[in-house]
Amino acid sequence: MKTDIKLSGVGGQGILSIATVIGQAATASGINLKQAEVHGMSQRGGDVQSDLRLSTEEIFSDQIPLGGADLIISMEPMEALRYLPYLSADGVIVTSSKPFVNIPNYPDENALMEELGRYTVHSLDIENIALSIQAPKSANMVLLGMAAKYIGIISEQDLKEAIRAVFSRKGEKVVEDNIKAFEKGYESIQ
């Protein structure tokens, strides 16, 4: 069994935290993992992306080939659009519905969502969900919760345990906020 995941977003949105949680869950579950990251200009709101390759078999490359991603997890819809060439024919996109407009020529929001709508897409205003549970810094964990069912190779419980491990040094409140955000995202996908 294998799952190839393309993670994307804008610097500071928490994409690398999602990668860390998935990586922790894979390692704790005995799943083989390869990861490649591109940080871009993450400090300035630039493109950040990561390839995560998870498998019960040996993995030889850390990069996902064009048309090879089973899942795109994106904190921002234009960044999901940027990586569509990597999505497999039966792949799924899980993205925030709220654009992060950080460039003057950002595409028309309706046209952007229409283009993404040609694929299997699950999108929610993850920032608003995080605010509704008083955990505004946990929007990325809402997104991870939404994506959890499509990761497949790692269980919901293993992802929760990884959240606990990754955020434990920040205190119990941060851990619980992130677990609650994950659960809200998980429950939103039927």
The whole-model pTM stands at 0.91
* Domains assigned to the chain: 2-99+109-188 (3.40.920.10)
pLDDT truncated to tens, each residue of the chain (190 aa)?
999 999 998 776 778 899 999 999 999 999 999 998 765 554 556 677 889 999 999 998 889 999 999 999 999 999 899 999 999 999 999 999 988 777 778 878 888 888 888 999 999 999 999 999 999 999 999 999 999 999 999 999 999 999 999 999 999 999 999 999 999 999 998 7
Residue 123 has what pLDDT? 93
Buried b (16+ CB within 10 A) or exposed e, 102-122: eeeeeeeeeebbeebeeeebb
Note the helical H segments in the chain: 15-29, 77-82, 109-116, 126-132, 139-151, 156-167, 172-188
Residue 38 has what pLDDT? 67
3-state secondary structure of 17: helix
Which residues are CB-contacts of 85 (< 8 A; sequence separation ≥ 6)?
66, 67
How many angstroms separate the CA atoms of 26 and 35, rounded? 11
- β-pair type (47-55, 69-74): unpaired
